[in-house]
């Protein structure tokens, strides 16, 4: 599937200022403020920029960190990971594999069986609710 490429002006027109700041300018929302940090509704979390399916509600857990946390993506090909040494920290950035939107970071302190915690900004997601 080809990557989605848009100009910064196109992204600005399509996203809210907060969505743009987080996804295109690699920002972070404040903890415990995003729409999905404490949501437990069933569904699929999609990229707010391009609609790619990224995470399933079944993989979401309460990490106590104030951001939505997932133990695994729906499919490894849906996300990209890169080393991030910004802000004096060594982390692994997670971006949408389809459009390059900044989603958040992944840490090696999650639950079994993956041991991973994908700490994702609510502003980068759109929950497509499903019924159980």
Q: What are the residue ranges of helices labelled H in the chain?
A: 8-14, 17-23
Residue 94 tokens, joined = 């997670």
How many Cα neighbours within 13 Å face the side chain of 18?
Answer: 11
Q: Active-site residues: which are they?
A: 119
Let me know: does 91 contact 28? Beta carbons within 8 Å: no
């Amino acid at each position: 599937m080809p990557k989605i490429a848009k100009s910064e002006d196109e992204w600005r027109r399509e996203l809210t200022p907060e969505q743009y700041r987080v996804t295109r300018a690699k920002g972070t929302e404040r903890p415990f403020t995003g729409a999905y940090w404490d949501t437990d509704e069933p569904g699929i979390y999609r990229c707010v920029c391009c609609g790619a399916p990224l995470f399933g509600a079944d993989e979401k857990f309460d990490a106590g960190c104030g951001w939505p946390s997932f133990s695994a993506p729906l499919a490894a090909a849906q996300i990209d990971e890169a080393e991030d040494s910004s802000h004096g920290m060594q982390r692994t950035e997670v971006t949408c594999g389809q459009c390059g939107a900044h989603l958040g970071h992944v840490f090696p302190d999650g639950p079994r069986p993956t041991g991973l915690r994908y700490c994702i900004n609510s502003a980068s997601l759109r929950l497509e609710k499903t019924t159980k």
